[in-house]
């Protein structure tokens, strides 16, 4: 298969804990290619737009408060099966259920403060990449 691209976010909990470098080391160790990267802080409104698919969930307000609480580090990762491989590298959404050595097991502390985000499929990846990097080409 040709390579594909996914959006990865290092969330405010992992940024404030100085874990950007540790997480990038894992990403590079797994042979992802980092195509774009930016440190930024989301407004509450921009966090709500990003997570709009979860707007009816009970955790939406807390989630978007948290995601706008401090800087995040946003990346486009490229590689074969990048979407699924980044999800495996992160581990389960809830760090308590994430396997040993996964990013969320190592650096997440709760289901909300779970260190990283990754796109969950090709359509989501296209939306999420364009949300942060408008005009960025998905195909090589």
Among all residues, which ones are annotated catalytic?
117
Distances (CA, A) of 104 to 7, 33, 41, 133: 16, 20, 21, 25
Give 140's DSSP letter.
-
Applying CB under 6 A, among 111, 126, 127, 131 the residue interacting with ligand CMP is 111
The CA distance from 89 to 91, in Å, is 6
Applying CB under 6 A, among 117, 125, 129, 132 the residue interacting with ligand CMP is 117
Q: How many residues form the binding site for ligand CMP (CB under 6 A)?
A: 8
Using CB under 6 A as the binding rule, whether residue 59 contacts ligand CMP is answered as: yes
Applying CB under 6 A, among 6, 19, 102, 114 the residue interacting with ligand CMP is 114
Using CB under 6 A as the binding rule, whether residue 63 contacts ligand CMP is answered as: yes
Hey, what are 119's tokens? 């796109």
Give, in degrees to the nearest 5, the angle at Cα 77 between 2 and 131. Answer: 110
The CA distance from 126 to 72, in Å, is 19
Q: Which CB sits closer to ligand CMP, 77 or 137?
A: 77
Q: List residues near ligand CMP by CB under 6 A.
A: 54, 59, 63, 93, 111-112, 114, 117
């Amino acid at each position: 298969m040709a390579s594909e691209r996914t959006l990865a976010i290092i969330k405010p909990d992992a940024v404030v804990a100085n874990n950007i470098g540790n997480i990038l080391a894992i990403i590079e160790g797994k042979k992802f290619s980092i195509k774009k990267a930016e440190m930024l802080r989301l407004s509450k409104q921009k966090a709500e737009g990003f997570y709009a698919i979860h707007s009816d969930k009970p955790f939406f307000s807390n989630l978007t408060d948290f995601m706008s609480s401090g800087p995040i580090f946003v990346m486009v990762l490229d590689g074969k099966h990048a979407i699924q491989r980044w999800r495996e590298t992160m581990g389960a959404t809830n760090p308590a259920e994430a396997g040993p050595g996964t990013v969320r097991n190592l650096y997440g502390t709760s289901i909300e403060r779970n260190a990283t985000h990754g796109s969950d499929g090709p359509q989501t990846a296209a939306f999420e990449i364009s949300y942060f990097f408008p005009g960025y080409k998905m195909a090589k």
